[in-house]
Amino acid sequence: MTSSTDRPPRLHFANPVRWLLPVVLVLFFLAVLIWLPWQARQMESSERQEQLIADTLWVEQTIRFQLGRHEEAMRSLSGEIAAGHLSPKQLHARLVQLLQTGHEIRRVMWVLPDGAMAATSDAAGAPSAQAGLGPHSLAAADHARRARKPIYSQPEILPGSSKPGLDYHYPIYSGERYLGTLVAHYALATVLDELVPWWFAQDNQITLLDRDDKVLARRSAAGAGHGVYTHKRGLDLPGTTVTLLTDSVKSEPRLLPNLLVGSVIVLSLALLWSLLALWGHISRRLAAEGALRQQMTFRTAMENSLVTGLRARDLEGRVTYVNPAFCQIVGYPPEELIGKLPPMPYWAPEVMSEYQHRFAEVLAGNVTPQFETIFQRSTGERVPVLIFEAPLVDNKGQQTGWMGSILDISDRKRIEELNRQQEQKLQTSARLATMGELASMLAHELNQPLAAISSYTTGALNVMQRAEDAGQPLDCGLLRPALQQAGAQAQRAGQIIRSVHQFVKKRAPERREVAVQSLLEGIGALIELQARQSYVSLQTDIPAALPPVLADRVMIEQVLLNLTRNGIEAMAQVPPERRVLRVRASHDAAAAQVTVEVIDQGHGIPDDVAERLFAPFFSTKAEGMGMGLSICRTAIEFHGGTLIHKANPAGGTIFVFTLPAAGAH
């Protein structure tokens, strides 16, 4: 029988409604998404058409209102003419005043029944001249006379004009007597220019049509209309048919009429995509949460297994987190550390001031990225540690504190101490090896004073024996020179032996103030021993005012002995007159250090050898160990100085090393 763990996962469709409902909702959403742009387009078209109709009606009413004002003014003027209250001058002034009420009226005149003008608004108009009315205007005048009511003529182009116009005739009766008609001539183009608002003309093309739909006047400030949104409205003018046609310059709305609808569609598509993706996202999220819990468990286990201590502090220095490795280093449980402010229980009393200073620097934001210090365990045991500090930043990029990594470097310190001891042993071995190489020269050097002592003492004994045999008193004047010479030779041999003893004696490094001149004097006998053997002349240039250096005497003597010995050996094959070894010292006050130079005029150092010159176990000598210059550099760097070499312009090599001057620290 198959195990349940080997079966593939099954999808459960026990409740069809649970799966059918999202599908129906998605289909409904798609239908709404398709219908929405079309409906928005239709709504915008309807709104534009309705707005155009409302604006056209408002313009028509504006024109009709202005014409009504003119009609009322002409009615009043005709009454005064019929009553005979106006003189010719007053009548002309009233006609001119009527003309000034609107720029759309081009001319106002009183036409007698026989067609002659009785008065006109023109400055040069003669009352007896003919009115010059067109056929439609004459027909309207006759109609107004018979109907005894005002009337507009059909639009027409009058003689002397290039644009259509129409006349308004107001008949004048005095009782039953017909006195003629009061005529106002309107320029239709001016009617559009004066009575149609500019904002309406910017969005529409406005046209006046006659009864045959012929264009009488047109205003198109923003260009020709597109014929999409149009509306006709007849001007209610008695006696004539004039239609106001408006044609919007706006085109038909696009499928996406505005940014809002477009944004809705884009967001809807994004929502649809998210709905489709949500199905798989939920399962992936559950899987991710499970993986996250597994990762958190894994990271916690990994963190607890670290040998590096972790410590988090907030901006006030309060401990917010420690891992088991840190608790093991300091010997305190987490509950005694978390939430605690300095001073910390693991701070050692002897470095308390250092802790306080570093803590103040941390609060000021000037953290030291890496430093060594000492912690005190709960048992009182001191633990040397190496601390790395870094800012602790949250997911918003804001610093919330400091994270420190703490390493227990007890083992490293022990190894460093062992290395230091091995280095001392190596230096001692190097000094012993040097003495071994100088053994034959030392034997020869010591043989001379010892032979001289033997000769002087033998001579003194012979003098004493002869005096004794002769029975004569001993003459001290004969013995004193021999004994003085013997004493001097004994001192010389003792100095050589003391130099060798001090040089090879095993001792711990001890840095003291020492003069460079005394360093040379301490090993002067050994240097001169090698120089005489190779016929090399030794020259020293040590200023009297040179400050002492802070150094271990034996270590620097070993450096000087190795460098001078290398220089002597480098001049073995040069002519005797060039075998000059110079030791020169100087003081650099700005750097607070003393510079010592060992200058030879030997064969020099090739470039390929110079690259590896200070490497351990590298030697150009057939029987050399390759440790001399490496030990020299280590000794100088132990004192905080540097050891380099450079070519001598006169031929040979210059070794330069620096030491801190006493009082510089």
CB burial of residue 655 (10 Å; 0-12, 13-18, 19+): buried
Weakest mean pLDDT among 46-50, 437-441, 628-632:
437-441
558-581 pLDDT tens trace: 888 889 988 988 898 888 888 999
- For residue 633 the two structure tokens come to 């550099």
Spatial distance between the Cα atoms of 144 and 184, rounded to a whole number of angstroms: 14
The CATH homologous superfamily for domain 56-252 is CHASE domain (3.30.450.350)
Position 143 scores a pLDDT of 92
| Whether residue 640 has pLDDT greater than 50 | yes
For residue 419, the SS3 value is: helix
436-460 pLDDT tens trace: 555 555 555 565 566 667 666 776 6
- For residue 362 the two structure tokens come to 């941390």
Comparing CA positions, the residue from 482, 488, 498 lying closest to residue 449 is 488
Confidence of residue 509 (pLDDT cuts 50, 70, 90): low
208-239 pLDDT tens trace: 898 888 988 888 877 887 788 888 888 888 98
Position 627 scores a pLDDT of 60
Dihedral of CA 29/31/34/40: which sign?
A: negative
The residue-averaged pLDDT of 627-636 equals 78
Position 258 scores a pLDDT of 55
Containing 30, the helix (H) or strand (E) segment is helix 16-83
Confidence of residue 546 (pLDDT cuts 50, 70, 90): very high
pLDDT: which is higher, 661 or 11 = 661
Spatial distance between the Cα atoms of 518 and 500, rounded to a whole number of angstroms: 16
Q: What is the DSSP string of 114-137?
A: TSBEEEESSTT--TTSB----HHH
| Whether residue 14 has pLDDT greater than 50 | no
The residue-averaged pLDDT of 60-84 equals 89
Task: Please report, as a single letter, which amino acid is at residue 403.
Answer: M
Position 8 scores a pLDDT of 42
Confidence of residue 356 (pLDDT cuts 50, 70, 90): confident
Q: Does domain 511-665 have CATH number 3.30.565.10?
A: yes
pLDDT: which is higher, 391 or 14 = 391
Q: What is the DSSP string of 155-193?
A: PBPPTT-SS-EEEEEEEEEETTEEEEEEEEEEEHHHHHH
Position 150 scores a pLDDT of 94
DSSP 8-state class, residue 380: S
Position 441 scores a pLDDT of 52
Weakest mean pLDDT among 526-530, 612-616, 632-636:
612-616
The structural domains of the chain, with segments of one domain joined by +, span 56-252, 303-408, 411-508, 511-665
Spatial distance between the Cα atoms of 474 and 463, rounded to a whole number of angstroms: 8
- For residue 53 the two structure tokens come to 């109709």
Comparing CA positions, the residue from 592, 601, 564 lying closest to residue 661 is 592
Task: Please report, as a single letter, which amino acid is at residue 651.
Answer: G
Percent over 90 (pLDDT), the chain: 12
Position 437 scores a pLDDT of 53
Cβ proximity of 543 and 500 under 8 Å: no
What's the farthest any 2 CA atoms get from each other in the chain?
Answer: 207
Position 15 scores a pLDDT of 54
pLDDT: which is higher, 402 or 34 = 402
CB burial of residue 374 (10 Å; 0-12, 13-18, 19+): middle
Which range of 29-43, 445-459, 630-644 scores highest in mean pLDDT? It is 630-644
Spatial distance between the Cα atoms of 105 and 99, rounded to a whole number of angstroms: 6
Position 501 scores a pLDDT of 57
pLDDT: which is higher, 348 or 460 = 348
Spatial distance between the Cα atoms of 293 and 300, rounded to a whole number of angstroms: 10
Confidence of residue 423 (pLDDT cuts 50, 70, 90): low
Position 548 scores a pLDDT of 93
Position 6 scores a pLDDT of 42
Weakest mean pLDDT among 97-101, 424-428, 519-523, 602-606:
424-428
Q: Can you give the pTM of this predicted structure?
A: 0.39
Who contacts 196 (Cβ-Cβ below 8 Å, separation ≥6)?
Answer: 59, 62, 63, 206, 219
Confidence of residue 200 (pLDDT cuts 50, 70, 90): confident
Which range of 216-220, 274-278, 461-465 scores highest in mean pLDDT? It is 216-220
- The torsion of the CA quartet 324, 330, 333, 339, rounded to 10 degrees, works out to -100
Confidence of residue 9 (pLDDT cuts 50, 70, 90): very low
The residue-averaged pLDDT of 392-419 equals 81
Position 543 scores a pLDDT of 92
The residue-averaged pLDDT of 295-318 equals 81
Average pLDDT value for the chain? 79
Position 172 scores a pLDDT of 92
Position 195 scores a pLDDT of 86
Spatial distance between the Cα atoms of 662 and 664, rounded to a whole number of angstroms: 6
- Identical fold for domains 56-252 and 511-665, yes or no, is no
Which value, in Å, is the radius of gyration of the alpha carbons in the chain?
A: 62
The residue-averaged pLDDT of 549-566 equals 86
* CATH class in words for 303-408: alpha beta
Confidence of residue 101 (pLDDT cuts 50, 70, 90): confident
| Whether residue 65 has pLDDT greater than 80 | yes
Position 13 scores a pLDDT of 43
Position 475 scores a pLDDT of 60
